[in-house]
Amino acid sequence: MRAFKRFSKSAVRESGFTLLEIIVVLVIVGILSALVLPTWNGSQERWRVSEAQSKAYSAIRKTQAMAMRHNTTWQFSIRESLSGEVEWAMHPVSGVPADWETLGDKALDLDLADTTLHKHNGNYYIRFDYKGRLASQTRTLTFTSTRVPSVKNCIVMSTLLGAIRQSQGQPTPNARGRYCY
């Protein structure tokens, strides 16, 4: 019976972890978390900005289609609301936008240095004529993240047949000093 007790005491003593082992594991987990967290946050922000870009691209295409369908000029409008959210609306140029839809949370922002849309009463806009062409010169709409300002995605709209394309911010600016082209 004594041998059994001695064996069970030593088995209990040998099972489990020492305080030093637990501290080492926690330090390793902390270091790995510190390395991975910024990359994870950057990926999340790139995803959010990309999702907003896709929604806006679809809305701009829909505005262009509405102009051709109704045989009149239509306008895509975008703004930052008083609460800080980016919102968009589409409407005939003769009308007033009534239904504003949000593109994302407050971390999404319009990059005004790279955005070349027309502005009126705090709203930025682009217009399409009855043939679906831009009613003005080439324009760019650029989104960024307030959390990671280096993340930039844009929509470039050109007058040539009303072409619209999506792009990302470039590491170097073009001749006009813009990063989204």
Give the pLDDT of residue 67. Answer: 93
Q: How far apart are CA 150 and CA 52, in angstroms?
A: 16
Task: Count other C-beta atoms under 10 Å from residue 136's C-beta.
Answer: 15
Whether the Cβ atoms of residue 117 and residue 78 lie closer than 8 Å to each other: yes
Residues 6+ apart with CB under 8 A from 154: 53, 111, 114, 140, 141, 142, 143, 166, 167, 168, 169, 180, 181
Q: What are phi and psi of 141, to 5 degrees?
A: -120, 120
Please state the domain extents for the chain.
19-168
Show the low-confidence residues of the chain (pLDDT under 50): none
Give the pLDDT of residue 33. Answer: 79
Class of domain 19-168: alpha beta
Give the pLDDT of residue 30. Answer: 85
Q: How far apart are CA 15 and CA 94, in angstroms?
A: 79
Number of H helices, E strands in the chain: 2, 9
